Amino acid sequence: MKIDRSILSEEDYQKLVALNNPKVMEIVETYANLCEPAKIKVITDSPEDIAYVRQLALEQKEERPLAMEGHTVHFDGPKDQARDKKNTRVLLPKGKKLSKHINSIDREEGLKEILGYMKGAMKGKIMLVRFFSLGPKNSRFTIPALQITDSAYVAHSEDLLYRQGYEVFQKLNGSPEFFYFVHSAGELDENGNSKNIDKRRIYIDLEENRVFSVNNQYAGNSLGLKKLALRLAINKAVYEGWLTEHMFIAGVHNLDKTRKTYFLGAFPSGCGKTSTAMIPGNTIVGDDIAYIRLNEKNEPHAVNIERGIFGIIKDVNPVDDPLIFKVLTTPREMIFSNVLVHDGKPYWTGMGIEIPDRGINFQGEWYKGKKDENGKEIPPSHGNARYTIRLEDLENVDPMLHDPNGVPMRAIIYGGRDSDTSVPIFQTFSWNHGVFIGAALESETTAATLGQEGVRKHNPMANLDFIVVPLSDYLKAHFKFGKKFSKPDLVQIFSTNYFLKDENGKFFDDKVDKKVWLTWAEGRIHGEYDAIETPIGYIPKYEDLKVLFDKIFQKEYSKEKYEKEFAIRITKWLEKLNRVEKSFESEENMPQEFYDELNALRNRLLAAKEKYQAEIIPPSSFE
């Protein structure tokens, strides 16, 4: 092995030798020589090795201890607080084409640039060599993942978020079939944050199943196993005949707790994904990423590739999020990032209790009214402040979390933020119809984030940021997957919209009402409810919703409200179809099924408009 043995102890060298994997050896050797660390530390699955990483994060001051046992806080630099979409690129070999939405760079040019930035990037630092398992161990879902990083915070975060995988690599018997990720925070400033943010780069190499990330610390850019691995897995799944999706997995229980049905759900940011996964009375398998494969009976099963949550902490409070809030305020191993700290305690916007007037946050010393260089008032905690916990710490974690066979998938929900078009919930007519509805997913921006409310963004399957293959190939993979099912109706697909507004601009529904829509969908799968057939799909009957609102919330659900919010808004739907068709017009080799479903839905809407001579048709008209 051509590494300066003064930086690699005999013990750590033997940990690598024990894997009997030439590719692992080659990778460690290559990036040790390129990045020039002062020391290499190889981490196995042993408690001692894992404890070393956590302690190192404290010693290097990447994390600071808080007053509560096990709690630590990490601060990213002021300009390193979110995913860097501009500088996250796919390395594109000559002669290959990708969809217009995919940010790419010539492969040779990109490799030259990022490897140049990585030259000597770990000088004076410790290179950590980590091994993880994406998905449960010893499973057909398992994808081994090798992480090299000089950030103990990154390595510690991955201990909370992923299953240890050194033994998984031992069982590879020398196979080169694994993902790998090379990260360096680069040169650090006086606060221990990445200094050269202008040279922040995250480059995805699909040819080699690897990702390079340099000059950053924010977890969305630095944790290879999260959204970076998601991109590699989407590429792998599309061409191998399975699915990798940006979806939660939840066990939805019927009201008397005698049955559990597994739902997956894809929602763009800010559209209710986490709150749907965490509905009281249900159990959670995962909140972010799912692998979906068929078993030997051609039945789809899904796993959460993670074992933890890297969640947005803003507005987590004891009323809306009691289970998560309890975890965040009791002793356990967990990491806060970019919150306010005062007297060793973390505080964040919307937590439901009074926040101190001063403390330490992501930009240093903070006091109420402090302004940034542009004269804008600095909030006590960053809007993208986070918490990192293990799923097992939640009281509602599903017992099937680590099952190597996954959970049987019976339903998918696609949900967006839509103020004026779709109903709170409807069921699609078929798998193909459901795939089209997922492909047509849109979401409105909010005034709080972009300064202009109601701008619709097209986001197929809530996965657009991470799709690294042509959209046509991605959709073909979905249509093909459903054709393999042992029964055509094995999986039901639903669409939800929690953000429909009335004529006065007020939301029709309360936040918690989603439990009614989900309970109806679960019962619908098992034949407990009839439905009304409309041009867009099957909608609930008023009588069933009235009973569910009474049983779940002991509140009245009026027929007048039902008639308004479950009305089919013909013109708005036709406008949506026009937008979706235009969005896909530049895609080559689109699957015919997509246009079959688009045209069928458009024709059903036009026929209803002609029949009822109306732009908005109440549900009672279709009964």
- Residue 449: pLDDT band with limits 50, 70, 90: very low
> What is d(CA 482, CA 301) in angstroms, rounded to the nearest whole number?
13
Active site residue 271: yes
pLDDT above 90: residue 559 = yes
Low-confidence winner among 2-6, 282-286, 293-297, 561-565 (lowest mean pLDDT)? 2-6
CA atoms within a 13 Å half-sphere pointing along the CA-CB vector of 230: 18
User: What value does the mean pLDDT take over residues 564-589?
Assistant: 96
Which percentage of the chain shows pLDDT scores above 90? 92
Q: Are strands 201-205 and 210-214 parallel, antiparallel or unpaired?
A: antiparallel
Whether the per-residue pLDDT at 5 is higher than 80: the answer is: yes
Q: With bands split at pLDDT 50, 70 and 90, how would you rate the model's confidence at 1?
A: low
Q: What is the mean pLDDT of residues 258-287?
A: 93
Instruction: Give the 3-state secondary structure of residue 29.
Output: helix
Residue 101: per-residue pLDDT: 85
Average pLDDT over residues 354-381: 94
Q: Does the structure show a pLDDT above 60 at 446?
A: no
> Whole-angstrom Cα distance, residue 265 to residue 461?
9
298: left (phi over 0), alpha (psi -120 to 50) or beta: left
Token pair for residue 457? Answer: 């963004």
pLDDT of 30 over the 90 cut: yes
The pLDDT of residue 99: 86
The one catalytic residue in 271, 464, 539, 605 is: 271
- pTM for this predicted structure: 0.95
The mean pLDDT value of the chain amounts to 95
H/E run at residue 56: helix 47-59
pLDDT tens figures, 186-206: 999 988 999 999 999 999 999
User: pLDDT at residue 448 above 60?
Assistant: no
Angle between helix 592-612 and 431-439 (nearest 10): 90
What average pLDDT does the segment 121-132 reach? 98
Q: Among 173-182, 292-301, 373-382, 602-611, which stretch is predicted with the lowest mean pLDDT?
A: 373-382
Q: Catalogue all structural domains in the chain, each as residue range(s) with its CATH number.
A: 10-241 (3.40.449.10), 245-307+401-622 (3.90.228.20), 310-393 (2.170.8.10)
Q: Where are the beta strands (DSSP E) in 391-528?
A: 407-415, 425-427, 442-444, 456-458, 492-496
Say if residue 352's pLDDT is above 90. yes
In this model, does residue 450 exceed pLDDT 50? no
Q: Enumerate the β-bridge partners of residue 205.
A: 210
pLDDT tier, 98 (very low <50, low <70, confident <90, very high otherwise)? confident
Alpha carbon of 418 to those of 226, 270, 435: distances in Å? 28, 12, 19
- Whether the pLDDT of residue 447 is over 60: the answer is no
251-260, 269-278, 389-398, 607-616: range with lowest mean pLDDT = 269-278
Residue 599 has pLDDT above 80, yes or no: yes
Cα gap 445→268, rounded to integer Å: 10
Q: Pick from 201, 184, 195, 183: which is nearest to 86 by CA?
A: 201
Distance between CA atoms of residues 58 and 80, nearest Å: 20
Q: Where in 384-527 does DSSP place strands (E)? A: 386-390, 407-415, 425-427, 442-444, 456-458, 492-496
pLDDT band per the 50, 70, 90 thresholds, residue 173: very high
pLDDT at 3: 82
Could you tell me where the DSSP H helices lie in 294-389?
322-328
pLDDT tops 90 at residue 16: yes
For the cut 90, the answer to whether the pLDDT of residue 25 exceeds it is: yes
Average pLDDT over residues 143-151: 98
